Amino acid sequence: MTSESASSIQMNFQTCPEQYQHWNLSFDGAIAELILDVNENAGLFPDYELKLNSYDIGVDIELYDAIQRLRFEHPEVKTVIISSAKDTMFCAGANIRMLAGATHGHKVNFCKFTNETRNSIEDASKYSGQTYLCAINGTAAGGGYELALAADYLILKDDGNAAVSLPEIPLLAVLPGTGGLTRLVDKRKVRRDLSDVFCTVEEGIKGKKAVDWRLVDEAVPTSKFDERVRAKAKELAGKSDRPADALPVKLHPITKNMTEEACEYSYLRFDIDRKTRTATLSLNGPSRKLKDDLDGVVEQEDQFWPLALARELDDALLHLRFNEPSIGTLIFKSTGDVQSVLSYDTFLHENAEHWLIREILLYWKRTLKRIDVTSKTLFAFIEPGSCFAGFLAELVFAVDRSYMLEGQFENDIRAQAELVLSQSNFAVFPMANELTRLESRFYGEMKSVDNARSLIGKRLEAPDAEAAALVTYSLDDIDWEDEIRILLEERASFSPDALTGMEANLRFVGPETMETKIFGRLTAWQNWIFQRPNAVGDEGALSLYGSGTRADFDKKRV
């Protein structure tokens, strides 16, 4: 994939099972099977073939869509089996030709998206009662094994052929890009010396040895493999609290009107200013009164406001990440009735145990996490008529800086800007570091967190919000225009690379988790390695892979 081809194709993150080219979904009561069967001639870009069940981002877009649909459209599904349609090949990982020809930015964003998708598998297993089991019926190499690692339980076929491996370092001079290193030691609890051996053995590990090293949970002979996979899937399903007879919620295609400079959704609009390299995302509050009963919510399906808005925001973030790399700043605004937003927020909180409401809250959690790891500057502007309340207020605490107008603009009849906290801001949407955004904001200042908790339900105007340290600056209408202009001009003048590094360092405080390691350590190192000549130079391993010529490494350590 050349730079030219990558920049000329607008990536679309909307698909459905009827359009899948690489995955097949089948259902048997409480058990679903997600079967990888990559169409090697259906790569997202034209410069490579997806041989040996290797994948590009098009394969992962379908996987992400399938995971979402399994959660919302199939409440009866309690166990998901990930398997392969190829007899001796589970998955060869990310396509090497794609990686070798991709732009640097695409490689990094590709790894980030695949990480987020695998995290969503783990999120489903941990919080939704929809456990993933991986049936490894052949070679699972590199990203193929990383896909397997996202599952809760791994069963390897013990036929003398099937193996698991992470061969990126010896073969390609890069790291496993989808959390493999971290999941080995943090999730699978593989000893670090054995992990060192495993990550430098090209051919991988098979059978009993793979079980002994904790690389898989079971190795089963071919004659008993399918039977054992089914039995384990039923056992895992028996532990789930997902309802067997609930009505599904169909995820219809998202309606949007896209131009070069703007995109209009039902509850969201973004506008691009290429001069300041900014995109303003304006979120709209609910347009209909809340039906205060769960049956009414299920009847609305994906048009229920919190779900519809989450889907649209998710789509917008992915579009701006992949298709607008030169847009360096995202500005969040909102418009709507504060009380209406709070009524929805209260309804979600009071019905959080219902399977659908749980899924909507978890979707918001994942979408907010996508904002946290976005490599763009994030601002929130809280203006008259805004509705940053309850779970929408999380956006104010996710950004790098927030600005709130004191009073009103001249001749503006809209209500003064208000910020309203709810219980949602104190437990429901933890970041990757397992702290809430308010706990991260006030790290080491529990009194400030407690003070914020005492403000739940109070309509805070700009001076009160600034006094509680809930916004960065409170400005009056006289200073607003000049201060915002200077802010955006200054930000646009800085090095995007330096800003990305600064923002990523400042957003995550406190404890490390497996997730922060994947997005912090892994992404930072891989970002650097993807620019080093040992990997991507003319004589680098990634460039020469399959040519028969050995890479010429610069041996100096940095």
Domain 3-237: which CATH number of 3.90.226.10, 3.40.50.261, 3.30.470.20, 1.10.230.10: 3.90.226.10
Spatial CA neighbour of 198 closest among 122, 133, 135, 146: 146
> What value does the mean pLDDT take over residues 76-89?
96
Residue 231 predicted with pLDDT over 70: yes
In this chain, the answer to whether the domains covering 3-237 and 259-505 adopt an identical fold is yes
Question: Residue 298: how many CB atoms within 10 A of its CB?
Answer: 18
Residue whose entry in the numeric block shows the structure tokens 């904790």: 214
Report the C-alpha gap between 386 and 492 in whole angstroms: 26
DSSP codes joined into one string, 330-377? EEEEEES-HHHHHHHHHHHHHTTTSHHHHHHHHHHHHHHHHHHT-SSE
**Averaged pLDDT score across all residues of the chain:** 94
Q: What is the pLDDT of residues 44-55, one digit of tens each?
A: 998 899 999 999
Residue 410 predicted with pLDDT over 90: no
Confidence label for 2 from pLDDT (cuts 50, 70 and 90): very low
| pLDDT score, position 242 | 96
Is beta strand 131-136 parallel, antiparallel or unpaired with respect to 163-165? unpaired
- Considering the domain 259-505, what is its CATH architecture? Alpha-Beta Complex (3.90)
| pLDDT score, position 266 | 96
Phi, psi angle pair for 376, to nearest 5°: -140, 155
Angle value at C-alpha 169, between 531 and 119, nearest 5 degrees: 80
Report the C-alpha gap between 414 and 416 in whole angstroms: 6
Residue 476 predicted with pLDDT over 60: yes
| pLDDT score, position 4 | 42
| pLDDT score, position 51 | 95
Q: Enumerate the domain spans of the chain.
A: 3-237, 259-505
Confidence label for 298 from pLDDT (cuts 50, 70 and 90): confident
Q: What is the pLDDT of residues 239-275, one digit of tens each?
A: 999 999 999 999 999 999 999 999 999 999 999 999 9
Residue 3 predicted with pLDDT over 50: no
Pair 437, 429: CB distance under 8 Å: yes
